[in-house]
Chains A and B, each alone.
Chain A
Amino acid sequence: MLNIALPKGRLGEKVYAMFESAGFECPTIKENNRKLIFENKELDIRYFWVKPSDVSIYVERGAADIGVAGKDILLEYSPDVYELLDLNIGKCNMCVAAKKDFYDDCTKTLRVATKFKNIASHYYSSIGRNIDIIKLNGSIEIAPILNLSDVIVDIVETGITLKENNLEVVTNILPISARLIANKAAFKFNTEKIEEVMTKLGEQVIK
């Protein structure tokens, strides 16, 4: 049985639709209930919904053979997994954003609020900027407004939230999209099946 971890929420629904169109349907997943695990015994596949940031953990530890995770999560946690396909959905950018009147005073340590500690550290160390990371778990946008930080590092999809909070993008760090990932050991023992998913799902990707 091929175990597939899908990210709960809007992205997960889009991802499942791609799996379904690729021929890996599981009708029970559409039933309106609180179940988290769904099986299609005929196709020998099992889907489960998990928190988006946990997908890579399920896959890396082998509880799921494959899964779909955002590039932001993969860069932040660096799981030891194969990254087989760019699904070209869930597209957004990892950005540095700040208040509209922000001026980067290089004589001072930059205070950076973010959920993505590793991505932010890596980016600022690549440009040699001294920073103080403030790890937050949500509502990052209010950090500069309340003077908790100078800038934020976060994913920006439409930019509406930034705009409504009087913030703007200072730098685009990198583009983000959803990726099909696979556990390395599972790939060895299920190569054909995972390759089949990869090929058929690849046909659903809109470039």
Chain B
Amino acid sequence: MIDEKLLKTEEKVVYALRALYKSYGYLPYKMSKFEEYELYSENKDFLVSDRFITFNDTSGKLLALKPDVTLSIIKNLSFEKGVKQKVCYNENVYRVSSFSNNFKEIMQTGLECIGDIDIYDIYEALYLSAKSLDIISNDFVLEISHLGLLSNLLDSVCDDNVFKDKAISFISKKDTHDLESLCKEYEIEENSMNKLLKFVSIYGDRNKVLKELENLSVDLDGFNALSELSTLLDNTEFSDKIIFDFSVVNDMNYYNGIVFKGFVKGVSEGILSGGQYDKLLNKMHKKGSAIGFAVYLDLLSALKENLKSYDVDILLIYEEKCSKQRLAEVVNELVFDGINVTAQKSIPDKLRYKKLVKLDAEGVIC
């Protein structure tokens, strides 16, 4: 029997998320801690960080501690028409932290739905993302973007790839002033520039965004997908916490369609990230489509927990000459009553205790 009081926040979250994903038919997927280096080096841009911890195995083959889970899952899955493979995982990955510039072990949990997926599966991934965030904190925001919309708009504005890369970087920062300067530098026609600037500046309530998108006459497929998803999400308990924001961008060489990011109050960066990655499947010579997301559990430590003001309920100080039989009886009785106790001969430095109890040489509590 697990005593919930003993679990740390991230342990409780892992447990609850596993139960959630399992209830929607996502089967646990266990993988090795390392893979061949080539798998990662060939798909560097897909990864959050492009540096890996490498080592040689006994035959001299170059391996890497896994910096990512998705690639390993895709590698081992095969396509079957009409079928989708749903897996969930809870794994440690090894990446360079952007803050410290050092390798960090990060506990990550998430799910992947790969195969013959349709709009329902995208909705399900979004709904489960919202539910995952809600398990962490009910003060959350899930923001959704559509890379197809963005990519079509950029194609219609300018063909130059350098322009597109720079524009995407400014869009991800909601930096409309530099985006405007870039458009002027590339002599983009005013109407197209204004359309792009407007597209970047609309975000928030889904219906409001959809209305404004209608006026911008953007790519119809993308618009219809967003519209259909929004209607499906209207009927969920999290509808008002799910917004549209086109500043969410992932690498367009790997991702397409819906991409999303989740934030919870109290954590300074996105705690959940996901999207459709059909292009990655394609690059790895796999058929079908895919969507998935990951929850970065290492960020949970930023959430304030109600810390106990003491480490043990009772600090039991016993005399050296006290019968050890008697000491064992006293300790076991306290533990039996659900009290935490530490038996010591003197008061340890830095130990925080609720009550101090002494056991004298005759075994009498005083």
Contact = CB atoms under 8 A, between A and B. Distances in A.
Interface of A: 60-62, 80-86, 183-186, 188-189, 191
Contacts, number: 44
Contacts of A189: 139, 141, 263, 265
B112 interface: no
Contacts of A86: 177-178
A60 B177 contact: no
A85 B177 contact: yes
Contacts of B268: 60-62, 183, 185-186
A191 B265 CA distance: 13
B174 A185 contact: no
Q: Is the interface of A mostly helix, strand, loop or mixed?
A: mixed
A191 B203 CA distance: 10
Contacts of B267: 62, 185
**Top 8 A-B pairs, shortest CB-CB distance:** A62-B268, A83-B175, A86-B177, A188-B141, A83-B173, A82-B174, A185-B263, A188-B263
Tell me the interface secondary structure of chain B in the complex.
Answer: loop
Interface residues of B, number: 19
Nearest to A61: B268
A61 B268 CA distance: 6
Nearest to A183: B268
A149 B284 CA distance: 47
Contacts of A185: 263, 265, 267-270
Given A62-B302, A188-B143, A191-B204, 14 more contacts: A60-B268, A60-B269, A62-B267, A62-B269, A80-B269, A81-B173, A84-B174, A184-B263, A184-B270, A185-B270, A186-B268, A188-B141, A189-B141, A189-B265
B59 interface: no
Contacts of A81: 173
B247 A83 contact: no
Contacts of A85: 177
Contacts of A62: 267-269, 302
Contacts of A60: 268-269
A85 B204 CA distance: 19
A193 B119 CA distance: 35
Contacts of B270: 184-185
A184 B143 CA distance: 11
A85 B201 CA distance: 12
B215 interface: no
B98 interface: yes
A62 B192 CA distance: 35
A82 B173 CA distance: 4
